[in-house]
Structure 1
């Protein structure tokens, strides 16, 4: 009896790299192909792990799962979708800044005082009415944007960014079989989170 030293099946990926946008729920996977060899009969369980390739702490690291991690043989050539899950980033952009509703209160108070002080005189000087109205509108509008003050003269720091840390990761895909033969070597796929 001759025993082959070749693995009973081969593992490969449909692409060596994968780029995903943090929080994406589509285009966030790669097919893992299992190719039967040496008339292997048994079951194969797939496993994966993700490792960050950058420095520092990782916030909300990506996770990986398979559409089907249990592959029965003899099934010929089979594939299973490796799915990467990430969390969308939320940063301190204009769209999601916390609004400070009281930041125009001092300007509104000043305009109100001016209106009450000048109102009795307006009856005598009707030519100033448009000017006073324009000044009131400008006071209500304030200067537009600007930073909110916390009373101590400092601007509060922006909230920390959340979501999956952008950068490079490596996904390692391995397998265990129930056929009692050696498993093939693990493979890896380079992952970039944007």
Structure 2
């Protein structure tokens, strides 16, 4: 049995607390050594949709990449997620990294491009693995964050809801950081 190191991005803009909480519980079925970033709220990329809650998690799994993708897409579907563009997204689970794989693997582009263009992916990811280097990248995730600082602005979310008892990291903002992570509006990715 091989344990693969994975990183997943989770997001929701419909009954956000409920969908994130249930998804994390469901992900325990095939994941071990789970670590979660804090949850952050961000506006939708076009600003016309309800705000999202997002977090990143790291874990290990014995599922291969195809099995993992089918399984997480099944979890999304159970939450009411349908393919295509949606204004309201009950649950979005994206595979960000799978071991050190790069390229199109089983129809999944790795590493996921949004790592470099979305604050709600890069910031919590670098909290979980600040020294990690993306494949073929000479600087760490923490250095990438300091260099790129993509949009949109993030607001930390307290845990009034029952996040499962995973190991949480980065529960506080860096010293001198305001309660929101301010990013220039012109850095919003399309």
TM-score by length of 2: 0.20
Structure with greater strand share of residues: 1
Would you tell me which structure has more helix in proportion to its own residues? 2
Normalising to structure 1: TM-score of the pair? 0.20
State the structure with bigger RCO (CA 8 A, min sep 6), 1 or 2. 1
